[in-house]
Structure 1
Amino acid sequence: MKKIIALVLTVFIISCQSNKEKDEPVEEHNHSDVKTEVGASKSPQTSTMETIGGAHIHIDYSSPRVRNRIIFGGLLAYDEVWQAGAHMATWVETSKDLTISGQVLSKGKYGFFIIPSQGEWTVIFNKNWNQHGKDDYNESEDVVRFKVAPEFSDEIKEELEYKIQKTDNSKGIFSLEWEKVKISFPFVVNETNN
């Protein structure tokens, strides 16, 4: 008898839920929103962070895709400033002073720019971190500028990717990889920071 009552109750509950679902309005999908999301995902906003020697280091950037294009020397002309990502300029923030290529990058937030070339590339940290692309880039606002030799690969790295790798208690390496190119440079967290 208990089994029959339980079965009747189960059928009644399922029937009520089914009717409730029929009475609820059907949510319509706006396909134009989906297109916007797909378009935006071509260069999604992303970031990478690491803590080294007590310094919190953060890189924020839009990550474009290769999509069967020639990037360096094609889409991005050689010997011209590039915002090192898509859309807004890439920015780097550090909570302590860093020494990079013999120069001090004081704690703070900076625009990160690169000048690719067929030889050495120029890496730039600039005071103006909040700008669209390179629209407001001004060389007089550069605080650290140095050259690096790019590394080349036969394999294509589809999406732009930054990494911060800890190599010691107070040392690390910044790297950027996209298309068939990788650049990297070491840094040291200054011990004299508070």
Structure 2
Amino acid sequence: MKKTIFLSLMLTALAFGAQAQKFKPLDKSPRDIAYYPDGFAGKRKDGEKALVKVSYSRPGVKGREIFGKLEPFGKVWRAGADESTEIKFYADATFGGKKIKAGTYSLFAIPGEKEWTIILNSDVDYWGAYKYKEASDVARVTVPVSAKPAELIENFSIVFTGDSPSKAVMALGWENTVVEVPITF
């Protein structure tokens, strides 16, 4: 009898706890992570470690005109949505020709029709680009807009490619635009 009452009370407590918990729905621009080298989270099976990681939100085109309209040319953009995009270098690197110390930075961009300015900034952990301060820039690099992709890129994407442990390319793509930044370690 005591076991039955105890079990009944436990089940009631569990049911109440499950009902009291409310979870938020999936963000409209979900977070994602890109690593170089790709294919692992933190450490690969063969002992190879990550050299760089980008954590960002992936807004969608959703039938809108993106660059030049939603994201105006010549204005600082958070390179994603929601919180500022963050890039973590696990080792010293050269980012678009500029030497960068290992550490975590926010990643911004100034889109243009023919070229973009990609910005690494020492201020991290804030929402959007509203508190962006140029005085906190660690590096600014200018990269050309690549040829248009074969298909529309619906969700903003960042990917790393490379055929050497010491050389990578970080590509940012959305809608009909791709830019690439070379990185060496």
1:86-143 deviation per Cα after TM superposition (whole angstroms, max 9, x unaligned): 0001000011011123211110000000000123110000001211100211011111
Retained in 2: the 8 A contact 1:65–1:159? yes
1:43-192 residue pairs with structure 2 within 5 A? 43-51=29-37, 56-151=51-146, 152-153=148-149, 155-189=151-185
Counterpart CA distance in 2 for 1:145 and 1:60 is: 19
Q: TM-score under structure 2 normalisation?
A: 0.78
Q: TM-score under structure 1 normalisation?
A: 0.75
Retained in 1: the 8 A contact 2:66–2:175? yes
Retained in 2: the 8 A contact 1:112–1:129? no
1:16-43 deviation per Cα after TM superposition (whole angstroms, max 9, x unaligned): xxxxxxxx99x9xx9xx79x515x2x20
Counterpart CA distance in 1 for 2:75 and 2:31 is: 23
Identity %: 30
Count of residue pairs the alignment pairs up: 160
1:5-24 deviation per Cα after TM superposition (whole angstroms, max 9, x unaligned): xxxxxxxxxxxxxxxxxxx9
> Any unmatched runs of 5+ in structure 1?
1-23, 190-194
Counterpart CA distance in 2 for 1:184 and 1:56 is: 17
* Greater Rg by CA: 1
Give 2:5's aligned residue: none
Does the residue aligned with 1:70 lie in a helix, a strand or coil? coil
Greater helix content: 1
